């Protein structure tokens, strides 16, 4: 999704902007642009395609600037629609994330007042509104412009009239201010600031920040001064580098043993069979009052919620539901104050998830967040929650965040379970088994060469069916999603038992099935489903528990995973799914870390 970077200080702004925008590339974009000022002179460059150090950039001097990566919403992908946007006299420059919903009416009005528009974007109205309201105070002009606007925005504005400041503002789109020594920054995402500063402030919705080289000042849209504390980001710079991996996605897949260790650290006590998540901000009494749990999320995070549902129902017998955030907001909310809502979001900035969260909070229902990004909107605006501590996930396709989310949900299931149904011995078993998961993931990663070889055998198929039952049904869904999004190959997933109710009609020798069948309570039933496929000459790649050698005569290919508790199987079975998708996409030469049409954090509804 769109990205923003701004700089004011003593260095060459264009270099910092380009570097910052490159760090945001993982969010997805189709065009980009920067503008910078020196000696009151404004220069800029806008381009369709990937950011490159093109000749044009050398001309862009000055120590203050703003830049943007655009993911088209209003207006096609073109140089003229790329940000920054300008007013008629090119004195005011704006970059914007979000959507101005009433832009058509505003544009009509501004045109009738004589303003000349150059682009088809909603953003350009902001530049003209600032021009209209400018009366010697840039912050005030931006504030007045924003009072006219409906919709969402994270913006950065600068002007040749006041070349010593950037004005940033936020409503519903992410924005962060980086604080340096004699230099300051603005960005839509902390990743852009990593090499420059760890000190940040997080403006809230409906706030404007005036940023100069040596300070900042925050006001609300109603012009009331607010104090925002400077906070420290704890991510390490090295985590955002690719090291020797060809893609961030592969690096992130291989980081997963450590991701599980990070998520477990200090939260699980195997000797007592207990778990404790301090960030929930709920006493045991409050937890015991929860009658229903509702997971709200999108995409991969939704599938993590499905796994969480099975885990909590198994350990604590609390009824759970999983809702798509994009649907929940538009239906009647039929749960009440006895319910606990868990919003699951890697980025903490997904617009659908935030909108659903706000709708639920409006009804007075407690909402907790499971997120990876400290300081994200969801992390800040929920009543408590769990950080998964997976480190920055750069690859657009989520891998390590999924494993981090499931680990956090397993801990939560253990905590709830021990308050309710689970015995000491059962709790101990889960806690001990959780601690062993990192080395078991490593054992699967050590088979990556074999999985790559298998990927080569399936490379030329155009359709895949992913099948699993119970805990592994969400993993079938996740496996199919991974393959679709990075290799652009069609894949669909079913609960294995549902396959005979329709999808079986698709099966022939050209339509392979990926069966996720560890030796667990539904093993025999799933094997019957596999037989149904075999009878129709469908090729089968099976993921099963090590030692289950008998299957080798029935299936075309097998990947073995170590044995674990049934509820923890998803932490292992998802690894071959990720690797299979990765290798098929790599062999097809796909742009794995930035698949077409996708964005890392989907900040529009
Ligand atoms: C798929 C993927 C997406 C995200 C979804 C939610 O690989 O990454 O499906 O899971 O857009 O994103 P977050 O978790 O940031 O809310």
Residues 428-485 pLDDT 10s? 999 999 999 999 999 999 999 999 999 999 999 999 999 999 999 999 999 999 999 9
Give residue 300's pLDDT: 98
Residues (pLDDT < 70) of the chain are: 1, 26-28, 53-56, 234-241, 604-605
Q: Which of 210, 212, 154, 208 is nearest to 180 (CA)?
A: 212
Q: How far is residue 279's CA from residue 385's CA, in Å, rounded to a whole number? A: 5
Q: Where are the domains of the chain?
A: 3-233, 240-444, 447-591
Confidence at residue 341, expressed as pLDDT on a 0 to 100 scale: 97
Residue 50 confidence (pLDDT):
81
Q: Which of 140, 146, 156 is nearest to 125 (CA)?
A: 146
Of 3.40.30.10, 2.80.10.50, 3.60.20.10, 1.20.120.640, the CATH number of 3-233 is 3.60.20.10
- 2 as an active site residue: the answer is yes
| Cα–Cα separations (whole angstroms), residue 59 to 54, 63, 118, 540 | 10, 13, 23, 58
Residue (of 391, 434, 399, 371) closest to 575 by Cα position: 399
Residue 26's pLDDT is 67
Q: Quick check: helix, strand or coil at residue 268?
A: strand
Top mutation candidate among 71, 300, 598 for ligand 1, by most atoms within 8 Å of CB: 300
- DSSP letter string, 532-558: HHHTTT--EEEEEETT-GGGGGTSSEE
> How far apart are the CA of 66 and the centre of ligand 1, in A?
28
Atom of ligand 1 nearest to the CA of 353: 16
Whether 240-444 shares its CATH topology with 447-591 is answered yes
Does the annotation mark 298 as catalytic? no
Helices (H), 317-423: 325-328, 351-362, 377-381, 400-419
Judge if the beta carbon of residue 298 lies within 6 A of ligand 1.
yes
Q: Domain 240-444's class?
A: alpha beta
Contact 100, 171 (CB under 8 A): no
The residue count for the chain: 605
Q: Does the Cβ of 480 fall within 6 Å of ligand 1? A: no
Atom of ligand 1 nearest to the CA of 302: 10
Q: Which of 410, 371, 402 is nearest to 256 (CA)?
A: 402
The per-residue pLDDT for 278 is 84
DSSP 386-407: EE-------SSS-SHHHHHHHH
How many other CB atoms are found less than 10 A from the CB of residue 336? 11
Q: Which class would CATH give 447-591?
A: alpha beta
State pTM to two decimals: 0.75
Token representation of residue 84: 């920054």
What is the number of alpha carbons within 13 Å of residue 370 lying toward its C-beta? Answer: 30
Q: What six digits make up the tokens of 522?
A: 């539904």
- The number of the ligand 1 atom at minimal distance from the alpha carbon of 346 is 14
Report the pLDDT value the prediction gives residue 161, as an integer from 0 to 100.
Answer: 96
Residue-level pLDDT at 265? 85
């Amino acid at each position: 999704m769109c990205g923003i970077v701004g700089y004011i200080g003593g260095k060459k702004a264009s270099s910092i902007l380009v570097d910052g925008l490159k760090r945001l590339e993982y969010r997805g974009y189709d065009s980009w642009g920067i503008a910078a000022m020196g000696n009151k002179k404004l220069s800029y460059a806008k381009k369709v395609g990937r950011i490159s150090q093109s000749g044009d950039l050398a001309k862009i001097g000055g120590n203050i600037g703003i830049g943007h990566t655009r993911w088209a919403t209003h207006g096609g992908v073109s140089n003229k629609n790329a940000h920054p946007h300008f007013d008629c006299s090119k004195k005011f420059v704006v970059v914007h994330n979000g959507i101005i919903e009433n832009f058509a009416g505003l544009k009509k009005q501004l045109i009738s007042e004589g303003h000349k528009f150059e682009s088809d974007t909603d953003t350009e109205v902001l530049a003209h509104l600032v021009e209209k309201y400018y009366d010697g105070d840039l912050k005030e002009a931006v504030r007045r412009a924003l009072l006219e606007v409906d919709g969402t925005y994270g913006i950065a504005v600068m002007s040749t009239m006041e070349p010593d400041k950037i004005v940033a503002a936020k409503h519903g789109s992410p924005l962060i201010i980086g604080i340096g020594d004699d230099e300051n920054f603005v960005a839509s995402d902390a990743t852009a600031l990593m090499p420059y500063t760890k000190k940040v402030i997080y403006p809230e919705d409906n706030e404007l920040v005036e940023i100069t080289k040596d300070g900042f000042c925050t006001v609300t849209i109603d012009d009331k001064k607010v104090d925002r504390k400077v906070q420290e980001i704890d991510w390490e710079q090295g985590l955002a580098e690719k090291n020797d991996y060809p893609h961030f996605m592969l690096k992130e897949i291989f980081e997963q043993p450590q991701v599980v260790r990070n998520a477990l650290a200090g939260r699980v006590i195997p000797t007592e069979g207990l778990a404790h998540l301090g960030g929930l901000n709920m006493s045991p009494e409050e937890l015991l009052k929860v009658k229903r749990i509702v997971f709200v999320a999108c995409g991969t995070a939704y599938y993590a919620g499905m796994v969480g549902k099975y885990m909590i129902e198994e350990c604590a017998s609390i009824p759970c539901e999983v809702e798509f955030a994009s649907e929940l907001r538009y239906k009647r909310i039929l749960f009440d104050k006895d319910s606990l809502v868990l919003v699951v979001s890697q980025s903490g900035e997904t617009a659908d998830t935030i909108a659903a969260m706000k709708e639920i909070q409006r009804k007075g229902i407690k909402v907790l967040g499971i997120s990876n990004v400290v300081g994200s909107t969801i992390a800040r605006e929920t009543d408590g929650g769990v950080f998964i501590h997976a480190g920055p996930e750069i690859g657009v396709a989520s891998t390590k965040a999924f494993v981090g989310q499931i680990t956090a949900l397993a801990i939560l299931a253990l905590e709830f379970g021990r308050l309710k149904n689970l015995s000491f011995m059962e709790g101990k078993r889960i806690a001990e088994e959780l601690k062993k998961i990192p080395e078991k993931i490593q054992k699967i990663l050590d088979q990556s060469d074999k999985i790559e070889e298998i990927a080569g055998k399936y490379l030329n198929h155009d359709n895949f069916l992913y099948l699993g039952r119970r805990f592994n049904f969400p993993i079938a869904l996740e496996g199919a999603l991974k393959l679709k999004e990075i290799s652009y190959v069609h894949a669909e997933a079913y609960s294995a038992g549902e396959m005979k109710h329709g999808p079986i009609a698709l099966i022939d020798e050209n339509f392979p099935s990926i069966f996720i069948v560890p030796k667990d309570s539904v093993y025999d039933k799933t094997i019957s489903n596999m037989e149904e496929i075999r009878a129709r000459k469908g090729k089968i790649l099976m993921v099963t528990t090590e030692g289950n050698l008998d299957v080798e005569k029935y299936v075309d290919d097998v990947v073995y995973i170590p044995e674990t508790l049934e509820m923890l199987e998803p932490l292992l079975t998802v690894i071959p799914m990720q690797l299979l998708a990765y290798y098929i996409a790599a062999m097809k030469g796909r742009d794995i870390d930035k698949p077409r049409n996708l964005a890392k954090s989907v900040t529009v509804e």
